[in-house]
């Protein structure tokens, strides 16, 4: 299947900046152009028809977070790392932002600040990148760094990854469980949501506790969005969204990006390989609860184990072929692949 004849994919979440940070930061950016062992690079993006996505800035814990072996078990409840100091988090985050800027300098992508820029970049077959932060550890209580990062192009932010921040709590990697695992937004978290609303920075609900989700729903005047989360009704993992949460997202005219991480797809919650049929089950459920204009893709490329039938960004045609074989029509597939992301971003950003 020729990716040039398929609708381009705009993806809700990748961790390529973390992978490049670990490989040397901006100095490693050129490997993105030539190809390497990761899920996303320029050759793989072109081979799979990846038109762009959310490029996450994520600060790894100093002790590491290699949880795949534990998450391959029948059940698990992994302890969360302690909070990250803001000074260290800011240093790591700046290195990843600089890496994204270096990729733009090299002509690998365009950092987009509006839905119109994303559309133009995709038409011109240049990778469209949204600067996103997964966890707000780098943001100071006065939010001066938020303003500076917004000036650098930050347009999407998750107040937490899974470990706690000064802004709120995140869900642990726990199966079986729902997201009712801890507290919600702090007073600073409420202030962060309001400041993001004022700056038109999209708020990502992925990784938030159930309490935090409902706090954002009460405080935010923007569409509710989870960039890379799945349906709890299919896989009862703490990271997945309940039907009540999905209904709130639908009521706000927001959306959800399907996460490819196998532990959040498989009904048994195990981080082992799985087939595309599990992805389709989640898509069916999300479409049923959210409607055809509020479901997209949020791969977690370079951040998780994904189905071997996809393997990397180069394997995206397999997912589109599976959607076609499942009975999804061309218009729905185009919406899932990129149209719905452009819709919700234009509504959130106002342009």
pLDDT tens sequence across 33-92:
999 899 999 999 999 999 999 999 999 998 766 788 999 999 999 999 999 999 999 999
Per-residue pLDDT, 3: 64
Neighbours of 341 (CB within 10 A): 29
H-helix or E-strand containing 297?
strand 295-297
Chain position carrying tokens 């609900």: 205
Dist. CA 149–CA 189, nearest whole Å: 17
As for how many domains the chain has, the answer is: 1
Tell me the pLDDT tens digit for each residue of 194-203.
999 999 999 9
> Which SS3 state, helix, strand or coil, does residue 156 take?
strand
What is the percent of the chain with per-residue pLDDT over 70, rounded to a whole number?
Answer: 98
Tokens of 179: 């997201």
Tell me the pLDDT tens digit for each residue of 89-121.
999 999 999 999 999 999 999 999 999 999 999
CATH number at residue 27: 3.20.20.140
Per-residue pLDDT, 351: 74
Segments forming the whole domain that contains residue 130: 3-349
Statement: residue 131 has pLDDT above 80: yes
Dist. CA 268–CA 260, nearest whole Å: 15
Per-residue pLDDT, 62: 83
Per-residue pLDDT, 327: 98
Dist. CA 163–CA 276, nearest whole Å: 30
Per-residue pLDDT, 93: 98
CA-nearest of 225, 336, 241 to 280 is 336
Dist. CA 323–CA 325, nearest whole Å: 5
Tell me the pLDDT tens digit for each residue of 239-268.
999 999 999 999 999 999 999 999 999 999
- 227 pLDDT band, cuts 50/70/90, is very high
Chain position carrying tokens 């600067």: 131
First and final C-alpha spacing in the chain: 34
């Amino acid at each position: 299947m020729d990716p040039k004849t398929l609708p381009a994919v705009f993806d809700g979440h990748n961790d390529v900046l973390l992978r490049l940070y670990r490989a040397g930061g901006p100095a490693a950016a050129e490997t993105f152009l030539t190809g390497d062992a990761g899920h996303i690079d320029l050759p793989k993006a072109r081979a799979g028809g990846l038109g762009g996505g959310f490029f996450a800035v994520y600060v790894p814990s100093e002790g590491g977070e290699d949880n795949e072996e534990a998450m391959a078990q029948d059940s698990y409840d992994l302890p969360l790392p302690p909070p990250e100091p803001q000074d260290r988090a800011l240093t790591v985050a700046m290195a990843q932002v600089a890496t994204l800027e270096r990729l733009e300098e090299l002509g690998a992508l365009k950092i987009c600040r509006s839905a119109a820029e994303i559309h133009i970049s995709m038409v011109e077959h240049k990778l469209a990148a949204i600067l996103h932060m997964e966890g707000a550890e780098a943001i100071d209580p006065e939010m001066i760094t938020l303003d500076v990062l917004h000036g650098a192009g930050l347009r999407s932010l998750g107040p937490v990854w899974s470990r706690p921040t000064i802004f709120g709590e995140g869900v642990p990697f726990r199966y079986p469980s729902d997201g009712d695992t801890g507290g919600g937004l702090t007073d600073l978290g409420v202030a962060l949501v309001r400041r993001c609303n004022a700056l038109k920075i999209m708020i990502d609900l992925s990784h938030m506790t159930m309490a935090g989700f409902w706090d954002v729903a009460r405080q935010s005047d923007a569409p509710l969005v989870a960039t890379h989360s799945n349906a709890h009704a299919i896989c009862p993992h703490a990271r997945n969204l309940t039907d009540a949460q999905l209904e709130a997202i639908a009521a706000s005219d927001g959306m959800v990006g399907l996460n490819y991480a196998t532990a959040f797809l498989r009904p048994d919650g195990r981080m082992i390989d799985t087939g595309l049929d599990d992805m389709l089950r989640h898509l069916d459920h999300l479409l049923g609860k959210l409607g055809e204009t509020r479901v997209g893709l949020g791969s977690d490329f370079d951040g998780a184990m994904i189905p071997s039938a996809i393997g990397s960004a180069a394997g995206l045609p397999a997912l589109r072929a599976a959607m076609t074989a499942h009975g999804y029509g061309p218009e729905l597939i185009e919406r899932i692949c990129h149209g719905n992301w452009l819709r919700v971003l234009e509504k959130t950003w106002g342009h």
